[in-house]
Copies of this chain bind each other. A is one copy, B any other.
Amino acid sequence: METVSTARAFGGVQGVYRHASAATGTDMTFSVFVPAHAAGARLPVVWYLSGLTCSHANVTDKGEYRRACAELGLIFVAPDTSPRGASVADDSAYDMGQGAGFYVDATQAPWAPHFRMWRYVTEELPALVAEQFPVDPARQAVTGHSMGGHGALTIGLTYPQRYRSVSAFAPIVAPSLVPWGEKALGGYLGPDRSAWRRHDAVALIEDGARVPALLVDQGDADPFLAEQLRPELLKDACASASIDLTLRLQPGYDHSYNFVSTFMADHLAWHAERLR
């Protein structure tokens, strides 16, 4: 692992790191904030998965998580959203290919060789982070924004023992039923929709996946709300499954980091409570 940069921030260290990923077959960059802590302490960790077009940098610059992480004693990790590079398949659209990995392991050409973000985010990067940073692997939480909210929900629902707390900002809750998801899951996983269900939070819940609780914030002025995000589908699925969903429709908020940063501290406090 190579250190790209480190800087003191809010009493801790905000770093950016790069490593050669076996999962994706590319170099991958990610950021980690480690708050001030007692020597030898192992801290709970919050994974933040980013949305379409983003890398680790968007939330690192605009997410406003450091003050709350410093106060709550949380490590914050932000992976990239896809493999990148000249040798990696891409698409001219913003919602497919580089910057749009959708947190799946692709099975279809031309994506299969490198687009293995599920394995990267759930196996390889956690192992690296546990080795290189003072995290307590027994206390992990996962959150994310938009496509990354989809990632957080599907990962949290799949590994409820590992991620003790799950939340999302304006997530894609049912990718099988919306244009972004149909394109991406079709492209990465192929036309057989049965293979999509384990990458669809609503379908996972229908198929029996359970978590104790979910926190979801959603701006009601989000231009993607009605067509792509559809939080009411998650609400219905959680109601049927008796999952304790806190879904907050935030009046006037859009899909940007103005929205995410406003509610970031709430999510971190919610995770910290569950990671104690």
Contacts and interface: CB of A to CB of B under 8 A. Distances in A.
Nearest to A9: B258
Contacts of A270: none
Interface in A236-276: 252-254, 256-259, 261-262, 265
21 contacts: A7-B254, A7-B256, A7-B258, A8-B219, A8-B221, A8-B252, A8-B254, A8-B258, A8-B262, A9-B258, A9-B262, A10-B261, A10-B262, A11-B262, A14-B258, A61-B61, A61-B62, A61-B257, A64-B66, A66-B262, A67-B67
Interface SS, A side: mixed
Contacts of A259: 7-9
Contacts of A258: 7-9, 14
Interface of A: 7-11, 14, 61-62, 64, 66-67, 219, 221, 252-254, 256-259, 261-262, 265
Given A7-B258, A8-B252, A64-B67, 13 more contacts: A7-B253, A7-B259, A8-B219, A8-B221, A8-B254, A9-B258, A9-B259, A9-B261, A11-B262, A14-B258, A61-B62, A64-B64, A66-B261
